Each structure stands twice: as structure tokens, then as C-alpha cells.
Amino acid sequence: MLFRQSEMASLLFRKTIVYSLVVLSFCFSTVLTDVFAMSENLAGKAVTLLEQKDYSGALEVLHSLEKTLSNPEQISNMLAVAYLGQGYQLLAAGEFQSARDSFRAGRSYNDEDVRLWQGEAITLYRRGNYPEAVSLLDQALGIDQKNPDLYLLLGKAYYTGRRMAEAVDALQRSVEYGGGDEVAGLLDK
């Protein structure tokens, strides 16, 4: 009789464990479904904010989403684009340091996007810091060696910094890679 009670207790214990695992599995599945739904909802909201050019709002949503993802790199490009847009908005408003900070933050998510390098270089150029702008553009050209816009800006920075031979070379490369009438006009000077 004692043996049967022990067997019954063991069987009851195993059933309890199995039942607990089933309940736990269901709860975990429900939580995961909720997390995925929340993630999809936040991602959709971020896309809408990006389309509306509300980059600060998009960044807020994306950083919230980043905390919920097991692989936050999934949204790295979206974060980079949001920082890029914010950087250009700040640049247009004359908030040069904040713009530069935004471009740099974007590069921490995607340092292969030359638009972020170019944005920071434009910020430095507009502040009169031509040598540092040239340095950033050289780095950007290491990523995209045939970008006519980078060569145009590089040529302007060299020209403004009175480095004429380098300015002409950069502008000629811009033309070579498809630079437009603006480049030809600068070369005629």
C-alpha cells in the first residue's frame, strides 16, 4: 500500500509538472505573440513617422522598438535614416552642432551610408571647417569611390580652402562620375 501511494504521488507530481509546462508554454507563446504584435505596431508607426518626416518622433519609436527586439540590428538602417533626416532638418535650421551629432549617431547604426558622412561634411563646410570636411569626405569616398556629389563637395571644400589643384581634380572626378551642370560651371571659373 505504501508503494502504491508513492507511485501515485510520483505520477501526480509528473502530471503536475507536465501541466505546469503546458501552461507555461502557453503563457510564453502568448507573451511572444504580444511582443511580436507590439513590435510590428511600433515598426509600422516608425515607418509612418519617417514618411511624414517626423524624424524625432520616429527615433523615439525606433529606440523603444530597439529595446524589445532580440536582434536590434534589424532596425539599424531605419535608425540611420531617421538620424539622417533629423540631421538635415537641424542643418536647415542652422543648428550645426546638433546636426553633426545626429549624423554621427546615424553612422553608429550604419557607417556605410555615405549620406551620413556627407551630411556631417556639409555641416563642417557651412561652419567654415574645411580641413575636417575634407577629411570626412575622403573617408566617405573610401566607401563610395564613384559618388559625384562627394567629389563636388570635396572640390568646393578644397576651393574654399584655397587648394586649387586638388579642387580641380575633385571637380573633374565629379564630372567623370556623372556630376551635373553645377560642376561644369565651377570648372569654368
Specify the amino acid at residue 78.
M
Q: Note the pLDDT of residue 111.
A: 94
* % of the chain at pLDDT higher than 70: 77
Q: Note the pLDDT of residue 143.
A: 96
d(CA 160, CA 158) in angstroms, rounded, equals: 6
Q: Note the pLDDT of residue 101.
A: 98
Q: What is the pLDDT of residues 133-177, one digit of tens each?
A: 999 999 999 999 999 999 999 999 999 988 999 989 998 998 888
For the whole model, what pTM was predicted? 0.77
d(CA 6, CA 124) in angstroms, rounded, equals: 80
The CA-atom distances, in angstroms, between 18 and each of 12, 22, 25, 73 are: 10, 6, 10, 37
Q: Note the pLDDT of residue 163.
A: 92
pLDDT at 2 > cutoff 80: no
pLDDT at 109 > cutoff 90: yes
| Average of per-residue pLDDT across 31-36 | 38
- Burial 27-64, CB ≥16 within 10 A → b, else e: eeeeeeeeeeeebeebbebbeebbeeebbebbbebbee
pLDDT at 185 > cutoff 90: no
